[in-house]
Amino acid sequence: MDLLLLAAIAREPLHGYGVVEAIRDASAGELDLAEGTVYPALYRLEGAGLLSSKWTTVGGRRRRVYRLTRLGRRRLERERKDWNAFAGAVKAVTA
């Protein structure tokens, strides 16, 4: 979950709904998250200093937009590397 959220927000700053949409679109609908449960994960990542957020107004509507911090970018790189190693190993075994 953390990797998905960080990767989605790394492309561009997003609000909660935007994060869910970005993950759904990038995965061609395969990853369809329970949308309300994205927020606890976002709060946790923000609390860990991996994301920052602020209120903005878009089309007269207030929304909280999340962006990756420098620490978050470093964590994303590490998580990506770990995931690729894991996925490569599973692929090698199951091929």
Amino acid at residue number 26: A
Instruction: Give min distance, CB of 45 to other proteins, in A.
Output: 10
Q: Give, as ranges, the residues between 29 and 68 that touch other proteins (CB under 8 A).
A: 34-37, 39-41, 43-44, 47, 61-64
- Compare residues 28 and 93 and give the one whose CB is closer to other proteins: 28
Count the Cβ atoms, other than its own, within 10 Å of residue 82. 11
User: Interface with other proteins includes 95 (CB under 8 A)?
Assistant: no
Query: CB neighbours of 41 closer than 8 A, spacing ≥ 6?
Result: 1, 2, 5
Strands (E), the chain: 14-15, 51-58, 61-68
Q: Pick from 17, 71, 74, 81 the residue near other proteins by CB under 8 A.
A: 17
Number of residues near other proteins (by CB under 8 A): 18
Count the Cβ atoms, other than its own, within 10 Å of residue 54. 9
Q: Pick from 3, 7, 16, 52 the residue near other proteins by CB under 8 A.
A: 16
Instruction: Give min distance, CB of 48 to other proteins, in A.
Output: 8
